[in-house]
Amino acid sequence: MKILIVDDHALVRRGMGHVVRESFSDADVVEASSAAEAMEAMATTGADIALVDVRMPDLDGLELLHDMRERWPNVPVIMLTSFDHAHYVRRALAEGAAGYMLKDATPEDLEQAIKVALSGGGNVLSPRVIQNLFETVEGATSVENGEMHHRPTSSLTQRETDILALLSEGRSNRDISRALFLSEKTVKAHLAAVFRKLGVTNRTQAAMAAVAMGIGPGLQPAQFGAGAGSSRP
């Protein structure tokens, strides 16, 4: 497994590399000190996953995330940074980041984040990131182009609210259908309506909106269920 670590501080790169090797004995760690080096490394040697800092001198990590997702959409990218600002988190999720972890995360948290990202199991967020994100958007109920917008909760029917609550717990469509005694086709139709009413485009954004509205437990600190980043209902 090849892991690309992108950070402009050498000691940080080496430290993260050590943690990764401790967790994954077969890891081949590639270091890049800038966005330009990261793109060159991806073009020449490739990687199975990338850990990217947000703030770097030449091109910030969010712009690098955008470029990497365009050229290598199947390579998950986890933002690993000391900045927990909600604006950065929303931009990262909108650009398709597989996770947003803070540098004070434990080695076990990072190991789990990498495993979830590689499996396509969802978006992994540090607990403080989730707390700051939802404190910032209190009362907001939708995400459009990385920005939160207010929407009335009364626009959702009771059935749609029930389905959204289960989705925010990380339940799959099959689990939701069984819990509410509905067909999966009906669940998908309701979710499509929920997405439209909330102005969101994927399950993660819908879960974020659910938490802002006080519906269900929402995103978990470690991860948000299987297929959290999917654009499908």
Of 24, 51, 26, the residue nearest 38 (C-alpha):
51
Exposed, middle or buried, 43 (CB in 10 Å: 0-12/13-18/19+)? exposed
Q: Which pLDDT score is estimated for 161?
A: 84
Per-residue HEC secondary structure of 198-231 comes to: HCCCCHHHHHHHHHHCCCCCCCCCCCECCCCCCC
| Three-state secondary structure call for residue 94 | helix
- Is residue 117 predicted with pLDDT exceeding 70? yes
- Is residue 227 predicted with pLDDT exceeding 60? no
* CA 203 from centroid of its chain's CA atoms: 11
Q: Which pLDDT score is estimated for 88?
A: 84
Q: How confident is the model at residue 211 (pLDDT cuts 50, 70, 90)?
A: low
∠ CA 143-149-150 to the nearest 5 degrees? 130
* Residue 149 β-bridge partners: 142
Residue ranges with strand state E in the chain: 2-6, 28-32, 49-52, 77-81, 99-102, 124-125, 142-144, 147-149
Which domains are present in the chain?
A: 2-131 (3.40.50.2300), 138-212 (1.10.10.10)
Spatial neighbors of 9 by CB under 8 A, at least 6 apart, are none
Q: Which pLDDT score is estimated for 221?
A: 42
- Is residue 14 predicted with pLDDT exceeding 50? yes
Asked if 56 contacts 32 with a C-beta cutoff of 8 angstroms, the reply is no
Between 230 and 132, the higher pLDDT residue: 132
